[in-house]
Structure 1
Amino acid sequence: MKYLYIVLIFLLYGLTYSQEIAILKYKGGGDWYSNPTAVPNLITYCNNSINTKINPKPETVEANSIDIFQYPFLHMTGHGNVFFNDDDVNNLRNYLISGGFLHIDDNYGMKPYVVEELKKVFPNTDLVELPVTHPIFNTAYNFPNGLPKIHEHDGKRPQALGIFYEGRLVLLFTVESDLGDGWEDQSVHNDPPDVREKALKMGANIVKYAFEN
């Protein structure tokens, strides 16, 4: 009964807030608030380039709050520890299987914590790497080689890892790319224009894909 209620809330909000993005606040001490200009800049880019109508000032929602059901797209980032308690786990799982989408962008150092915590949310499902032929790489802009490399980090190749539920991609975890740094104001990291453009275009692909699937 509780699950049905949550689904109805999601559907109701989904009709009202068909294109909205929120930043996910999580427990564990990691800096969920990092890259403060990233998502606003991505939203502006999307509104200007792929005709979305997203609120330019994204809200922050907590993992255990029913407020997440107001947003079809959640963005999560940071450097450090991530922890989901039982309420977070149940809420996030219900959100994702009810039609929500979560993008986690590793700002460096998140991967071991994220992988462990996602096992709580989907204990029987592994993260899988998306092939370069996946539609998320060409829904608005074409990335024939897959996820672009924005920042070096450990010098490893960038990976787009996903979790699927009943055939739908419900979660995208971008690693060794750091799209969010590329979305930030140019003065923050002094990335050249072409690198920032790649990051924003890939971000627009993710947004468009999440809204349309």
Structure 2
Amino acid sequence: MTSLKQKNFTISLIISICLVGLSAAFAADFDRTVIPRVKYGGGGDWYTGPTSMPNLLKQASERLHLPTQAENIAVSVSDPELFRYPMLFLTGHGQVRFSDFEINTLLNYLDNGGFLWVNDSYGIDRFIRREVRRIYPDREFELLPSDHAIFKMVYDFPEGLPKIHEHDGKPPAAYALFDKGRMKILYTYESDIGDGLEDAGIHKVDTPEIREKAMRMALNILAYVMMQ
């Protein structure tokens, strides 16, 4: 059986190779990985959990040996800077709404190698599904099986997406939108990985074990995106 140390070494090598081979659309990228959060309209709190991405990027540097810039950065879809980032993070509670221009921009971004991770922090399900249908009206989310590669990139999750926050008590589910075999959007539903990545003490119910579970899953997601 492959040890965690061996798997970490392997994935670090894969990531290093893939960073060199990113799409030409992101040729002007930073030399350090940054994952900005997406600003959106509609009244939802796109800014929630400001420590989640910096914490993930710090751990990606320490555990995956990936050069990162561990900062909380936000970007609007209408901002040309969007195309500097190979991966985006969207989270919040409640309404999410994009303009027609932003929908077209997201389509262009995703079709040119970009990746969007949507984290259900609670209450965004119907809004996200509506907006994704506007981007890809002829495509549907696919439920990822527990044996999908994303659940065993660095850490093994034999049961699939872990449950971090209870919310409605529904089972967690990972949905993805694919095009020509490439995952373009990952939607983590009824799990709230993002909240589990925040600083200790922000969510009193998040034990160290729960926070570690969230971090491991997030590192799997990042490794999977970099491997594509």
Task: Report how far residue 11 of structure 1 moved.
Answer: 3.4
Shift of 1:167: 1.0
From 199, 204, 211, the equivalent of 2:219 is 204
Aligned residue number for residue 30 of structure 1? 44
Q: Where does residue 146 of structure 1 map in the other structure?
A: 160
Q: Aligned-pair distance for 1:36?
A: 1.0
Q: Contact 2:34 / 2:57 at 8 angstroms: preserved in 1?
A: no
Q: Secondary structure at the match of 1:48?
A: helix
Residue aligning to 2:118:
104
The aligned residue for residue 163 of structure 1 is 177
Shift of 1:47: 1.1
> What does 1:1-213 correspond to in 2, within 5 Å?
10-14=25-29, 16-17=30-31, 19-190=33-204, 191-213=206-228
CA distance in 2, matches of 1:121, 1:64: 15
Q: Which stretch has the larger CA shift, 149-158 or 185-194?
A: 185-194
The Cα offsets for residues 123-175 of structure 1, whole Å up to 9 and x where unpaired, read as: 10001111111111111111111000000010010000010011100100001
Aligned partner of 1:3 in structure 2 is none
Asked if the contact 1:25/1:63 (under 8 Å) is kept, the reply is: yes
Residues 162-201 of structure 1, C-alpha deviations (whole Å, 9 max, x = no match) = 1001110010000100001110111101211111000000
The TM-score, its normalising length taken from structure 2, stands at 0.86
Query: The residue matched to 1:187 in structure 2 has which SS?
Result: coil
Task: For residues 6-64 of structure 1, give each alpha carbon's deviation from its aligned partner in whole angstroms, at most 9, with x where no partner exists.
Answer: x86x23224x4463211111111100000111111111111111111111114211012
- Unaligned 5+ residue runs, structure 1? 1-6
Residue in structure 1 matched with residue 17 of structure 2 by the alignment: none
Paired residue total = 205
Counterpart CA distance in 2 for 1:131 and 1:20 is 28
> What is the TM-score normalised by the length of structure 1?
0.92
Query: Structure 2: which 5+ runs fail to align?
Result: 1-22
Task: Detail structure 1 runs of 4+ shifted over 3 Å in the superposition.
Answer: none
- 1:82 maps to a residue whose letter is V
Root-mean-square deviation (Å): 1.3
